[in-house]
Amino acid sequence: MVASTPSKKLFSVTLRVWRQANPDQPGKFVDYPAHNVSPDMSFLELLDVVNDGLTVSPEEPIAFAHDCREGICGTCSCTINGKPHGPGKGVATCQVYMRSFQAGDVIVVEPFRATAFPIIKDLVTERSAFDKIQQAGGFISARTGAAPDANAILVSKAAADLAMDAAACIGCGACVAACKNASAMLFVAAKVSHLGLMPQGQPERDRRVLAMVQTMDEAGFGNCTNQYECSAVCPKNITHDFIARLNRDYVGALFRSELQSVSTSAGGGA
């Protein structure tokens, strides 16, 4: 019941891969020729094949991040020919197929580069800064067991659909890698917009945006200067319109939080 390899035209490419043994050592590009490449092979499957070859050579296999291989877990994270997640539109690295390349191509493969994403090894980076931002406020506080009937809170289809557009973010960090400022604004905007569009998210809306933005700044991400490279490479096509929404929420929350602190001190221990 195992399929035989179909008769597609095979070709050769060269992978020029960033190798770095650990965070403290300098890295460099190394070339690896790859032959008998099928157009139906995924880019990561090609890395698997190259690694099987390296395993039985004196050199170590290339470390690269991957897991679901269907574009939803957000683990894979290469920059391919200068573009995070490679040549496709609206896909992650694991959804890049070799039919996107030509025979004889030199394919340059690097890790996502950003101060807030230090390199662990080869193509693998540390992206826990995103988790810290979530922990600061990326949630609706709903204790288990305290929820009302799900249809007790109506959500307009338009709001739910727009929230879903934002919630599709897979937390891969391509937006950061593509940005010349290594800004995480698209990531934070997606989360803030998703939760802020839902009626359930209103009570914590101000607190959420202030805490998430502050944590983002502290983690070493840069600011947004409206180049929109982020949305151009986003594997889920999340639009930079959400950044405008984030800015509106942030400014409003700042304004309201000041009012609140004034009134608290004026009111005295209620």
Partner 1 sequence: MAKLDSKIPSGPLADKWQQHKTQIKLVNPANKRKYEIIVVGAGLAGSSAAATLAELGYRVKSFVFHDSPRRAHSIAAQGGINGAKNYQNDGDSVHRLFYDTLKGGDYRAREANVHRLAEVSTNIIDQCAAQGVPFAREYSGHLANRSFGGAQVSRTFYARGQTGQQLLLGAYSALSRMVGQGGVELHPNSEMLDLVIVDGHAKGVIVRDLNTGVITRHSADAVILATGGYGNVFNLSTYARQSNATAIWRAYKRGACMANPCYTQIHPTCIPVSGDYQSKLTLMSESLRNDGRIWVPKDKADVKKEPSTIAESARDYYLERIYPSFGNLAPRDVASRAAMRMCDEGRGVGETGLGVYLDFADAIKRLGEPAVRERYGNLFDIYHEITAENAYQAPMRIFPAVHYTMGGLWVDYNLMSNVPGLFVLGEANFSDHGANRLGASALMQGLADGYFVIPYTIGDYLAQQKPSARSNIDRPEFKQAAESVSTQTKQLLDNPGKEPVSHFHKRLGKIMWEHCGMARTKQGLETALQKIPALREEFVANVKVPGSAETLNQSLEQAGRVGDFLDLGELMCRDALTREESCGGHFREEYQYPDGECKRDDEKFGHVAAWEYQGPGQAPLRNVEPLNYEFTKMSVRSYK
- Per-residue mark of binding to partner 1, 51-70 (x: CB under 8 A): xx-xxx---xx-x-xxxxxx
Nearer to partner 1 among residue 198 and residue 224 (C-beta) = 198
Return the range that interacts with partner 1 (CB under 8 A); candidates 178-186, 193-201, 219-227, 259-267.
193-201
Contact 164, 239 (CB under 8 A): no
CA distance 192 to 205: 8
Query: Phi and psi of 10, rounded to 5°?
Result: -90, 155
Q: Which is nearer to partner 1, 167 or 227 (CB)?
A: 167
Q: Which of residues 95-124 bind partner 1 (CB under 8 A)?
A: 95, 97, 99, 120-121, 124
Alpha-carbon distance 179 to 181, whole Å?
A: 5
- Residue 114: C-alpha distances to residues 93, 165, 189, 208, 262 (Å): 18, 26, 19, 25, 39
CB nearer to partner 1: pick between 74 and 84: 74
- Up-side HSE of residue 33: CA atoms within 13 Å toward CB? 5
List the interface residues with partner 1, window 80-99 (CB under 8 A): 88, 90-91, 95, 97, 99
Q: Which of 30, 147, 244, 259 binds partner 1 (CB under 8 A)?
A: 147
Considering only residues 14 to 53 of the shown chain, the ones binding partner 1 according to CB under 8 A are 21-22, 38, 40-42, 44-46, 48-49, 51-52
Q: By CB under 8 A, tell whether 189 contacts partner 1.
A: no
Contact call for residue 145 and partner 1 (CB under 8 A)? yes
CA angle 132, 21, 73 (to 5 degrees): 40
